[in-house]
């Protein structure tokens, strides 16, 4: 019962659990080793880059919605939502005292965008589920 998993699903679950444990250890190491202050050498590229990625992902998500592709739409909308959450996180955690108003504004804008994108993803997943149920042949009653 508790031997190594034989199927792909079981191996993936074990790999994800091991990855989570490894991430906990790495997070502790980072928390102990990282300096409180650091000079970023590609600051502009970092911030412009994440915004460009968000733009591309919004366009991909819009395209998938236009093409009525609920499976890929759910993935794209979820990934884009997470990008917005990460962007908001870094807006807040990297803000200096003079940046608080700008960071708060971005937080107020980015989190609702993420929530809408997750709502889109949820609707798309429901459509995928409904389509799968329609395509599944019904079993004869006994």
pLDDT in tens, 14-30: 999 999 999 999 999 99
In a domain, 140, yes or no: no
CA gap 7, 102 in Å, rounded: 50
Instruction: Write out the residue range of the structural domain in which residue 97 sits.
Output: 40-135
Copy the structure tokens of residue 24: 């906990």
- The confidence score (pLDDT) of residue 1 equals 57
Residue 15 and residue 74 in one domain? no
- The confidence score (pLDDT) of residue 6 equals 79
Number of independent structural domains in the chain = 2
- The confidence score (pLDDT) of residue 32 equals 93
The whole-model pTM stands at 0.81
CA gap 7, 12 in Å, rounded: 9
Residue 110 and residue 69 in one domain? yes
Residue 28 and residue 46 in one domain? no
Mean pLDDT over all residues of the chain?
90
Copy the structure tokens of residue 103: 């960071």
Which of the two residues, 1 and 7, has the higher pLDDT score? 7
């Amino acid at each position: 019962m508790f031997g190594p998993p034989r199927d792909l699903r079981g191996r993936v679950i074990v790999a994800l659990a091991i990855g989570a444990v490894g991430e906990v250890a790495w997070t502790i190491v980072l928390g102990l080793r990282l300096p409180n202050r650091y000079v970023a050498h590609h600051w502009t590229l970092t911030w412009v880059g994440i915004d460009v990625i968000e733009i591309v992902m919004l366009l991909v998500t819009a395209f998938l919605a236009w093409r009525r592709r609920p499976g890929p739409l759910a993935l794209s909308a979820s990934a884009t939502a997470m990008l917005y959450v990460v962007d908001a996180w870094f807006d807040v955690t990297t803000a200096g005292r003079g940046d608080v108003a700008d960071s708060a504004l971005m937080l107020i804008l980015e989190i609702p965008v993420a929530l809408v994108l997750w709502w889109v993803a949820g609707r798309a997943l429901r459509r995928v589920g409904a389509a799968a149920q329609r395509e599944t042949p019904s079993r004869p009653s006994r």
